[in-house]
Each structure stands twice: as structure tokens, then as C-alpha cells.
């Protein structure tokens, strides 16, 4: 894997976090951001997405849980993701994941009709199929069924070995299924176990 960071930021301040300014160098592979409730995990991911956009780095921060998108058909939401990522979109992989995550029967439903778990699954399809250089996942295990959680763990194990893409997972604690992975970076925003 390359040692060159895809995204490097100095003295980044995350509102709400209990740590000082961060120096981050995101390299290919899987990085993990931890923090307690309200410590800035989601804000950090949004800041990373903004920095990536400003530097012209393709990125994916799938957010099918946004209430503003409630009336959107699941199929249309995925089509918008495909359009946003253009020629890099991996349509065969998206199709495989839709099948594996049992989403095909939900594609013609509006997002508000889907469970939180199904909406998160849509986000996972977009994250994997986008082929973005920087992929940002905010608590992706929340509300997933056991089968989908195993599939996510497999995707993240592959991401940890990816020599071209940087993946950033934010959650309260590193999931047990990922404990043995070699991480590109670990960032703690504080507030865990309080």
C-alpha cells in the first residue's frame, strides 16, 4: 500500500469534540474514528467530505437517512448516487449488493417507508459501488440485521487492504468483527465509556 496520504489536514477543529485540533493524514485502507455521543463523529465526516471536495478528491458520504429525502424512491436515490459518481460507478457490484442485502423488493418504495436498516443498506451499496477515493461511513452497523452486518464486515475487511481507496468508519467503538484488521489510522474524539 502507498504511504502517500490521499487527504492531509492540519489543525482541524471538530466542534463538539473533546480533543484539540487534529492533524490527519488519510491513507488508503480503513481508518477508524471513535467517540462518545455528541463528540463530533458525524461532524468530522462532513468536514472530511468538504475538504475532499475542495481538493477535488472523489468522495462518498452516503446519507439515505436524511429526512429531506424521505419522499425519494429508493431506486431514484441509488440512481442519483450513480449519476454523482459518473463513470466510476460500479454497476455490477451495486446490483450484487442490492441482491445480497435483500433490497430489490424495496427499490420502488419511498425512503420514509424503509426501516432504518434498509436505508443504511442503501448507503452501503452507494459507498461500495461509488469507487470514490474517500468513502465515509457514519455508524454503518446501526440497525443492520446479522446477515447484513456480516456482509459489511467482509466489505470493510476488503477496504482495509484497498491500495487505492481510503475508507473512514465512525462509531462509538470498533466492532468486534474488525478488531484484528490492520487500520490505516485511529482517531479518538473522546467521550467513550463515560
Q: What is the pLDDT of residues 134-182, one digit of tens each?
A: 999 999 999 999 999 999 999 999 999 999 999 999 999 999 999 999 9
Q: Which of the pair, 78 or 20, is modelled with greater confidence?
A: 78
- In this structure, the answer to whether residues 139 and 52 fall within a common structural domain is yes
**Distance in angstroms (rounded) separating the CA atoms of residues 100 and 135:** 20
Predicted confidence at residue 191, as pLDDT, reads 74
State the residue range of the domain holding 191.
Answer: 1-57+133-194
DSSP of 26-88, one letter per residue? E-SEEEEEE--TTSSHHHHHHHHHHHHHHTT--EE---TT-GGGTTSBHHHHHHHHHHHHGGG
- In this structure, the answer to whether residues 72 and 39 fall within a common structural domain is no
Q: Which of 84, 114, 131 is the C-terminal boundary of a domain? A: 131
pLDDT at 194 over 50: no
Mean local confidence (pLDDT), 111-140: 96
Domain-embedded: residue 62: no
The structural domain count of the chain equals: 2
pLDDT at 192 over 70: no
- In this structure, the answer to whether residues 139 and 109 fall within a common structural domain is no
C-alpha cell belonging to residue 38 = 455528541
Mean model confidence pLDDT for the chain: 93
- In this structure, the answer to whether residues 11 and 99 fall within a common structural domain is no
Q: Which of 116, 131, 146 is the C-terminal boundary of a domain? A: 131
The rounded percent of the chain whose pLDDT value lies above 90 is: 86
pLDDT in tens, 34-45: 998 888 999 999
If one counts every other C-beta atom within 10 angstroms of the C-beta of residue 16, the result is 15
Domain-embedded: residue 97: yes
Residue 179, burial from CB neighbour count under 10 angstroms (0-12, 13-18, 19+)? exposed
- In this structure, the answer to whether residues 137 and 193 fall within a common structural domain is yes
Residue 193 sits in a domain of what CATH number?
3.40.50
- In this structure, the answer to whether residues 144 and 126 fall within a common structural domain is no
pLDDT at 17 over 90: no
Q: Which whole-number Å values give the CA distances from 29 to 26, 137, 162, 189, in the listed order?
A: 9, 13, 5, 20
Q: Which of 99, 131, 163 is the C-terminal boundary of a domain? A: 131
Amino acid at each position: 500500500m502507498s504511504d502517500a496520504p490521499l487527504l492531509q489536514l492540519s489543525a482541524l477543529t471538530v466542534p463538539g469534540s473533546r480533543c484539540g485540533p487534529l492533524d490527519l493524514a488519510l491513507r488508503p485502507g480503513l481508518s477508524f474514528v471513535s467517540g462518545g455521543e455528541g463528540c463530533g463523529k458525524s461532524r468530522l465526516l462532513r468536514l472530511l467530505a468538504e475538504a475532499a471536495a475542495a481538493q477535488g478528491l472523489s468522495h462518498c458520504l452516503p446519507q439515505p437517512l436524511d429526512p429531506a429525502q424521505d419522499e425519494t424512491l429508493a431506486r431514484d436515490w441509488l440512481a442519483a448516487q450513480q449519476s454523482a459518481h459518473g463513470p466510476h460507478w460500479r454497476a455490477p457490484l451495486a446490483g450484487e449488493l442490492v441482491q445480497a442485502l435483500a433490497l430489490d423488493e424495496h427499490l420502488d418504495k419511498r425512503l420514509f417507508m424503509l426501516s432504518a436498516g434498509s436505508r443504511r443498506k442503501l448507503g452501503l451499496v452507494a459507498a461500495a459501488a461509488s469507487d470514490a477515493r474517500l468513502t465515509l461511513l457514519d455508524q454503518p452497523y446501526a440497525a443492520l440485521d446479522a446477515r447484513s452486518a456480516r456482509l459489511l464486515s467482509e466489505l470493510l475487511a476488503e477496504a482495509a487492504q484497498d491500495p487505492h481507496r481510503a475508507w473512514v468508519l465512525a462509531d462509538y467503538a470498533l466492532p468486534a468483527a474488525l478488531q484484528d484488521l490492520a487500520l490505516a489510522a485511529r482517531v479518538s474524539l473522546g467521550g467513550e465509556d463515560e
